[in-house]
Amino acid sequence: MANVIVLGTQWGDEGKGKIVDFLTPSFDVIVRYQGGHNAGHTVYFKGKKLVLHLIPSGILHANKLCVLGNGIALNPKAFLEEISCLRSLGLKIDNNIVLSRQAHLIMPYHELLERWTEEKRGEKKIGTTCRGIGPAYEDKAARIGIRVGDLLDLKVLREKIEENVAWKNEWLKLASYSELKAEEIFREYAGYAEQIAPYIQDVSTLLAKLIKEKKRILFEGAQGTLLDIDHGTYPYVTSSNSSAGGACTGTGVGPTKINAVLGVAKAYITRVGGGPMPTEIGGNIGRLFQERGDEFGATTGRPRRCGWFDAVAVAYACRVNGIDRIALTKPDVLDVFDEIKVCVSYRYRGELIKDFPPEPWILEKVEPEYRILKGWKTNLHGLRDYSQLPPAFLDYVHFLEEAIEAQVVIISTGMEREETIILEGKIDDLIDQKAIKSEII
Ligand code: GDP
Ligand code: IMO
Ligand code: MG
């Protein structure tokens, strides 16, 4: 029984939500292990677009357990709103959502402090989603965070809120923000406590039991490897481990219980927010990518910066995650181009670099070196069968495989579940194709 991590190999928005939703029939449990409502995972439900921020992208399928691990930063209001939105769509939410008691809570002061630090950074701002994610993880590391489990004892909750608010008010005074009132925050969070209590469990114990029962687990990454706090382009990163290691620390499942890591890579690359991006393209071509790929943030609506596929960056992501298989998404966006560029190395101070340097001060100065491939100039959008794929596109796929040293095993050709091709014989050990096909109309 395979337990698999599915994660992004770029700067997020690779199409993880689509791939997780597609693969879900093959698994029993879908687990988010890090991040919070900074994520925006797009899935389609009965032809309608739905963006999930916190709930795992398996929720559209019946009888799947969706778990939020201890690695999550949880905004309780966003969590409850997402659940009521799912209910309003007619989805059954009873005992199929579980929340770790060790996950950290995002508090009202986190968002305020984030706005302040972003302002202070001026031109060097990270361009965060301003959801309070960074400050919540700061408090976790500083050992003053308030956890989901603290909601279960109102005396503890009150004490922790009072301590934190007294402290945070000192900072807010410096920032010339108005003081917060501990009692108001306590009352708000005590209200959430009642609604959230039924979802709270010990996730590590639960997952260990399910693994013993041979249930199959899919770990859903948020953000992407280049946004990982350790392996990303620090400081232009998010504040959690979006790479494979995060699946263990963010759930309490040991690495020996996880069988594979499937990387999701977009056929080009995008980035939202600040930080270097060597293959970024501006002007009309950049806009064409944005329009064809609908590259506008699923969470903040910001236009995504677009660029050619960066094989140096994706090869790096494959290395730090131990990825040998890739789901390739959105190649249909490139249908119209005569030539397709792939960055295969960087030049830095006259020298050729093949290993991705995560330091922004190096990345800002590298010049990407491209291989130019012939465009396929035919419609890939919506194709469902390998035999329909044009030879020029397959050449492009093989070229990428060599450049990133990983095999492409799934090709996505559109937003909908059925617009997906599984390459024969390449992923049979990890997924049950029959189960997947049975959910595709
Ligand atoms: P995530 O954060 O990695 O889940 O990705 P997002 O949902 O933020 O962004 C991916 C976008 O691309 C969404 O709007 C998806 O509906 C869309 N998408 C996913 N796969 C494909 C594909 O193969 N082709 C096209 N055209 N769109 C896709
Ligand atoms: P999904 O899961 C793309 C980016 C922000 C910013 C940086 C830090 O949909 O791929 P944060 O609010 O996390 O402190 O912001 O990370 N970022 C994302 N970019 N997709 C995401 O999630 C992102 N989540 C955060 O734009 O540059
Ligand atoms: Mg997204």
Tokens at residue 179, please? 């003081």
132 conformational bin, left if phi > 0, alpha if psi -120 to 50, beta if neither: left
Helix (H, G, I), strand (E, B) or coil at 208: helix
pTM of the model: 0.98
Q: Of 21, 13, 62, 15, which is closest to residue 44 (Cα–Cα)?
A: 21
Report whether pLDDT(302) > 90. no
- Which residue among 34, 37, 38 has the greatest number of ligand 2 atoms within 8 angstroms of its CB, and so is best to mutate? 38
Tokens at residue 210, please? 């399910």
- Name beta bridge partners: 421: 411
Mean pLDDT (the chain) is 96
Q: pLDDT of 373-401, one tens digit each?
A: 999 999 999 999 999 999 999 999 999 99
**Percentage with pLDDT > 70 across the chain:** 100
One-letter amino acid identity for 25?
A: P
Helix (H, G, I), strand (E, B) or coil at 18: helix
Query: Of all protein residues, whose CA lies closest to atom 16 belonging to ligand 1?
Result: 415
At residue 113, φ and ψ (nearest 5 deg) are: -65, -35
Q: Of 130, 74, 80, which is closest to residue 105 (Cα–Cα)?
A: 74
Grade residue 1 by pLDDT with cuts at 50, 70 and 90: low
Question: Which domains are seen in the chain, by residue range?
Answer: 4-101+202-440 (3.40.440.10), 104-198 (1.10.300.10)
Report whether pLDDT(47) > 90. no
Q: Looking at residue 441, what is its pLDDT? A: 63
Question: Which pairs with CB-CB distance under 8 Å and at least 24 residues apart come from 279-286?
Answer: 279/307, 279/308, 279/309, 279/310, 279/341, 279/343, 279/368, 280/305, 280/306, 280/307, 281/306, 281/307, 281/308
Pocket of ligand 1 (CB under 6 A): 8, 12-18, 40-42, 294, 298, 329-330, 332-333, 412-415
Element (H, E) at 161: helix 154-174
Q: pLDDT of 108-158, one tens digit each?
A: 999 999 999 999 999 999 999 999 999 999 999 999 999 999 999 999 999
Query: Of all protein residues, whose CA lies closest to atom 17 belonging to ligand 1?
Result: 415
Burial class, 312, CB count within 10 angstroms (exposed 0-12 / middle 13-18 / buried 19+): buried
Helices (H) and strands (E) in the chain, counts: 13, 20
Residue 322 contacts residue 244 (beta carbons within 8 Å): yes
Pocket of ligand 2 (CB under 6 A): 8, 11-13, 38-41, 126-129, 131, 133-134, 222-224, 227, 238-239, 272-273, 298
Grade residue 301 by pLDDT with cuts at 50, 70 and 90: confident
